[in-house]
Chains A and B, each alone.
Chain A
Amino acid sequence: MARVVILGGGVSGHTAATFAAKWLGNSHEVVVVTPNAKWNWIPSNIWVGVGQMSKEEVTFDLDPVYKKAGITYKQAKAVSLNPEGSANETQPFVTIEYTGQGKEGESEEVTYDYVINATGPKLNFGATPGLGEGSQLGEHTVSVCTADHAEHASHKLQESIEKMKKGERQKFLIGTGHGMCTCQGAAFEYIFNVEHEIKKAGVRDMADMKWISNESFLGDFGMGGLHMKVGGYVVSSKIFSESLYAERGVDWMVGAHVSKVEAGSIDYELLDGSTGTENFDFAMLIPPFAGVGLKAYGKDGADITATIFAPNGFMKVDANYAAGTYENWKASDWPRTYQNPSYSNMFACGIAFAPPHIISKPMSSPNGTPINPTPPRTGMPSGIIGKAVAHSVCDLITKGEGAHLHEASMAEMGAACVASAGKGLTTGTAAAMTVFPVVPDFEKYPGTGRDTDYTFGEIGLAGHWIKHILHHLFMYKAQLKPGWTLVPE
């Protein structure tokens, strides 16, 4: 009987675990190690962050779902990996520390035949002084990265709305909290939801709104921008995005690295090297992401973390990490099987794998501060990669070591994204976008790097309906309700 241990029960890990359990049945064991008791459909945190959904609506308890699926669930966080075992243990193992199930603080060594690292991001608040290290919630600013963060953001937003109702002007600053952030799409969706709520509350004229981001141009989204079909034109996402901001009366500042946050103000540095201060009454700044800080040890106890993980803490996989400068980057640098090059029974999926390089053009200020988005690994790619990795591991177990590994390159897959602006079924307008492929391939698509037949954007109510459907479909699928496998990732 083989044991597959999956670290992280988020979008990618939950997909990997549930498919592995379905494909392996009772003859093998699937273990999930994840610190939270609840699963969270993260995209809907945006609606929690504006008070349009409750935390309960975007989460559910993992325990009954894993019981139903026959998955061993350990509410714990992984701390380190021993891919060759140790002096006392011949099998590879992961050391975990419990965060629940009545065993809080206890450590355990869980042996494995295969391990899948799906630990997602560490929200690296500490990278920017004042952003919220310690509180893990935001200090002077708020975040919407978890359901708890989003609930906190919603309360702060309501306070600002109340102040505006009493005649006090409020300045809203929304975007990224560091020069190396990713996840611009979430902040983009949040700013338009906030604008919608303020308008609905009848106080839009009391609000000054500003977007701040590390993108070198509006609409970069960490993907170097995209060219999409809109209304019969092929349009740069810069024009598409600028139009959205201008229409809604939202100003923007791009190429910005937030260097310090204090109560009511941020310090920033721009790509031209200039620095400045921006005041705010309400700010939602996404923290930068890093790996969760897993350590790795050899059989003799030597620290081999640098062999398995990249310096940013993400796990090395079958990517080309020696691609060199921007001019030499290719679609083929991106990983296909997500197998660790040093240990063939180790895989990573979702945000946890180390990308070969960024996607956007690398930029830095004359002072040497890097200011460019890091690559997004959104829900759809995270799910697809999780499923492909689970498939490979199941085949390795059932067909033997020579089994063909399944492939899911981000340079060959698309992503669908819906950025809502409000939650109403007859009001509000969402931007529905697809991009194909996520990582541009200029050899295959020499013009824009992408297939413009499948890269499109559209603004309208239909996007809202799709966002509602996606919310219910993914909450349904993740709870393994009848027919769950029919819902695509």
Chain B
Amino acid sequence: MVKHEEVNFARNDQSNTTMIPGRFARAMRTNLIWQFIRFVIINLKMLVVVSKSH
């Protein structure tokens, strides 16, 4: 059976040469605990970029 992430590779040559996230990577994108951790980290990183820019 074709996995969800494999369907779009077959659409055309453009899509065939890219990378498409699998089930685990997709799940982590909406996993509330993991995303909360990432939220804190991304905010801290953005604050560093903001402070380096002023």
Binding site for B on A (CB under 8 A): 239, 242-243, 245-247, 249, 251-252, 380-381, 384, 412-416, 426-427, 429, 432, 434, 436, 454, 456, 458-463, 465-466, 488-489
Contacts and interface: CB of A to CB of B under 8 A. Distances in A.
Interface in B4-54: 5, 8-9, 11-12, 14-15, 17-21, 28-30, 32, 34-36, 38-39, 42-43, 45-46, 48-54
Given A384-B54, A488-B50, A460 B45 contact: no
A488 B32 CA distance: 27
SS class of chain B's interface: helix, strand, loop or mixed? Answer: helix
A436 B18 CA distance: 25
B18 A242 contact: yes
Nearest to B21: A247
Top 9 closest A-B pairs, CB basis?
A413-B53, A462-B39, A246-B15, A414-B49, A246-B18, A460-B29, A242-B18, A461-B35, A462-B38
Contacts of A466: 39, 42-43, 46
Contacts of A459: 29
B8 A434 contact: no
Nearest to A241: B18
B29 A429 contact: yes
Contacts of B54: 384, 413, 488-489
B52 A414 contact: yes
A161 to B, nearest CB: 22
Nearest to A235: B19
Given A380-B53, A414-B50, A462 B35 contact: yes
Contact of A247 (B17, B20, B32, B42): B20
Nearest to B19: A243
A429 to B, nearest CB: 5
Nearest to B11: A249
Nearest to B4: A247
A252 B11 CA distance: 12
A462 B46 CA distance: 13
B49 to A, nearest CB: 4
Of B9, B28, B38, which is in contact with the most chain A CB atoms at under 10 Å from its CB? B38
A463 B42 contact: yes
Contact of A460 (B18, B35, B52): B35
B29 A246 contact: no
Nearest to B36: A462
